[in-house]
């Protein structure tokens, strides 16, 4: 009996030492730049490079987001669409890559948000290869980035779940596959929700400036939603939409986030931004309202209105929404005090308009200066950069100002 106990104890100690050894190797490999691979047998396993987290405002009180809409990346050498005849011969996916690199260098964003149709499935023989090429500039930048899917991403060799899994494992990505449906109930039926529809529903928190009174609190929330692809509804083919289970999850997350307490001993109403691909039907109303930017094509949305706008209004924290899908629309317009902004297509393999430069949208949140430190978000602004010789900056505007919204 004693010998059995001794043997068991030795085996336990050996297992514990082995586990500690493996964890140490993983930690050291993850912390050093010169070695980012492990050799297991004959296989090489690559470790994901993670960004510096949490997402945080700069010491100057700003946080800048680059929205990248509709790259429509093909195989890397896929020809451009809708460019001038003089540009066509030497234009390909590489022009999209080059523009993305230029705008990252020009704006020095803190975070990149890809809002769907990252690849064009029918021009991508290998979805994974196209994804790595499309997100290459983001990974090379070392900046944290997140992505959602559009209606074309899954048309190649990977389905939507596989695509979001791949994206979540890429270097510096903070994308997530899907949240848990625990404790969520359907408001209409009262039944428990077993699964949240789609892939790529998640929220990210942006914390206060380092050393500030809100350094340990999220002062800006980012909501990402999967708006789906193509479906048949009542016998008619239409675009996807954000489902009720997603909206129930969003309401739940918003309530939890608004319940936080700050070091200043008073509750804050933390502003939020939302990102998804396919516009909601109400965007059509903006054709008759004042907008900033250009409304150049019809709004390609779902036949189903799933009350996304009403949900945002009831939540009270979403100040602006950023969408893609309609490449030659790049305007911002207000619906029920919430701004809805198109990114404007960045991708050269996606359709566009000859002589109308591809573009990308920048969003900047700015903190309010207190007596001793930065406090809550005071202002949210946006503008666009064009892929021209001067990287022109256009349509700068204020989307929300805490002082003016009281």
How many CA atoms within 13 Å lie on the side-chain side of 254?
Answer: 22
Looking at the fold, whether 275 and 372 belong to one and the same domain comes out as yes
Would you tell me the crossing angle of helices 160-168 and 127-134 to the nearest 10 degrees?
Answer: 40
Q: Is residue 348 part of a domain?
A: yes
Between CA 352 and CA 387 the distance in angstroms is 13
Q: Is residue 246 part of a domain?
A: yes
CATH number of 243's domain: 3.60.21.10
Q: Is residue 34 part of a domain?
A: yes
What pLDDT score was predicted for residue 193?
78
Looking at the fold, whether 258 and 285 belong to one and the same domain comes out as yes
54 preceded by a cis bond (ω within 30 of 0): yes
pLDDT tens digit at each of 406 positions of the chain = 454 445 445 455 455 554 554 455 444 444 433 335 555 556 666 789 999 999 999 999 999 999 999 999 999 999 999 999 999 999 999 999 999 999 999 999 999 999 999 999 889 999 999 999 999 999 999 999 999 999 999 999 999 999 999 999 999 999 999 988 776 776 666 677 788 999 999 999 999 999 999 999 999 999 999 999 999 999 999 999 999 999 999 999 999 998 764 444 445 689 999 999 999 999 999 999 999 999 999 999 999 999 999 999 999 999 999 999 999 999 999 999 999 999 999 999 999 999 999 999 999 999 999 888 999 999 999 999 999 999 999 999 999 999 887 6
Looking at the fold, whether 21 and 107 belong to one and the same domain comes out as no
In contact, 140 and 105? CB cutoff 8 Å? no
In contact, 25 and 38? CB cutoff 8 Å? yes
Phi/psi of residue 329, nearest 5 degrees: -95, 130
What pLDDT score was predicted for residue 189?
61
Q: Is residue 182 part of a domain?
A: yes
Looking at the fold, whether 351 and 391 belong to one and the same domain comes out as yes
Q: Is residue 109 part of a domain?
A: yes
* Tokens linked to 345: 């297509």
Q: Is residue 352 part of a domain?
A: yes
Looking at the fold, whether 356 and 324 belong to one and the same domain comes out as yes
**Beta-ladder partners of 4:** none
Between CA 215 and CA 368 the distance in angstroms is 13
Looking at the fold, whether 166 and 239 belong to one and the same domain comes out as yes
What pLDDT score was predicted for residue 31?
42
Residue 359 is part of which domain span?
51-401
What pLDDT score was predicted for residue 258?
85
Looking at the fold, whether 287 and 260 belong to one and the same domain comes out as yes
Q: Is residue 406 part of a domain?
A: no
Looking at the fold, whether 141 and 1 belong to one and the same domain comes out as no
Looking at the fold, whether 166 and 306 belong to one and the same domain comes out as yes
What pLDDT score was predicted for residue 187?
62
What pLDDT score was predicted for residue 218?
93
Q: Is residue 16 part of a domain?
A: yes
Looking at the fold, whether 18 and 107 belong to one and the same domain comes out as no
Q: Residues with Cβ < 8 Å from 282, sequence gap 6 or more?
A: 305, 309, 335
Q: Domain tally for the chain?
A: 2
In contact, 92 and 78? CB cutoff 8 Å? yes
Looking at the fold, whether 33 and 108 belong to one and the same domain comes out as no
Looking at the fold, whether 6 and 58 belong to one and the same domain comes out as no
pTM: 0.87
What pLDDT score was predicted for residue 261?
44
């Amino acid at each position: 009996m004693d010998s059995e106990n001794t043997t068991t104890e030795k085996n336990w100690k050996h297992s514990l030492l082995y586990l500690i050894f493996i964890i140490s190797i993983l930690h050291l490999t993850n912390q050093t730049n010169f070695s980012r691979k492990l050799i297991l047998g004959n296989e090489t396993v690559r470790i994901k490079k993670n960004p510096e987290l949490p997402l945080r405002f700069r010491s100057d009180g700003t946080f800048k987001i680059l929205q990248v809409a509709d790259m429509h990346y093909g195989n890397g050498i896929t020809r451009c669409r809708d460019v001038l005849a003089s540009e066509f011969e030497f234009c390909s996916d590489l022009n999209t890559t080059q523009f993305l690199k230029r705008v990252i260098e020009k704006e020095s964003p803190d975070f990149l948000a890809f809002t769907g149709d990252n690849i064009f499935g029918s021009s991508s023989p290998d979805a994974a290869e196209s994804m790595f090429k499309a997100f290459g500039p983001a990974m090379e930048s070392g900046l944290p980035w997140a992505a959602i899917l559009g209606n074309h991403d899954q048309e190649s060799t990977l389905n939507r779940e596989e695509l979001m899994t791949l994206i979540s494992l890429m270097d510096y990505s903070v994308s997530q596959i899907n949240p848990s449906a625990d404790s969520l109930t359907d408001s209409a039926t009262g039944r428990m929700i077993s699964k949240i529809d789609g892939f790529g529903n998640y929220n990210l928190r942006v914390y206060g400036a380092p050393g500030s009174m809100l350094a340990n609190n999220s002062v800006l929330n980012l909501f990402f939603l999967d708006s789906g692809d193509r479906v048949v509804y009542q016998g008619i083919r239409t675009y996807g939409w954000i489902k009720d289970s997603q909206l129930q999850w969003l309401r739940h997350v918003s309530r939890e986030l608004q319940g936080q307490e700050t070091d200043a001993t008073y509750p804050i109403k933390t502003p939020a931004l939302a990102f998804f691909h396919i516009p909601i039907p109400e965007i059509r109303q903006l054709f008759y309202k004042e907008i900033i930017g250009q409304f150049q094509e019809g709004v390609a949305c779902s036949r189903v209105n799933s009350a996304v706008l009403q949900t945002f209004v009831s939540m009270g924290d979403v100040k602006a929404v950023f969408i893609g899908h309609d490449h030659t629309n790049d305007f911002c317009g207000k619906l029920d005090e919430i701004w809805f902004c198109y990114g404007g297509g960045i991708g050269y393999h996606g359709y566009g308009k000859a002589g109308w430069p591809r573009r990308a949208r920048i969003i900047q949140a700015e903190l309010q200066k207190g007596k001793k430190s930065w406090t809550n978000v005071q202002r949210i602004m946006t503008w666009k950069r064009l892929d021209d010789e001067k990287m022109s900056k256009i349509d700068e505007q204020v989307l929300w100002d805490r002082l003016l919204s009281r």
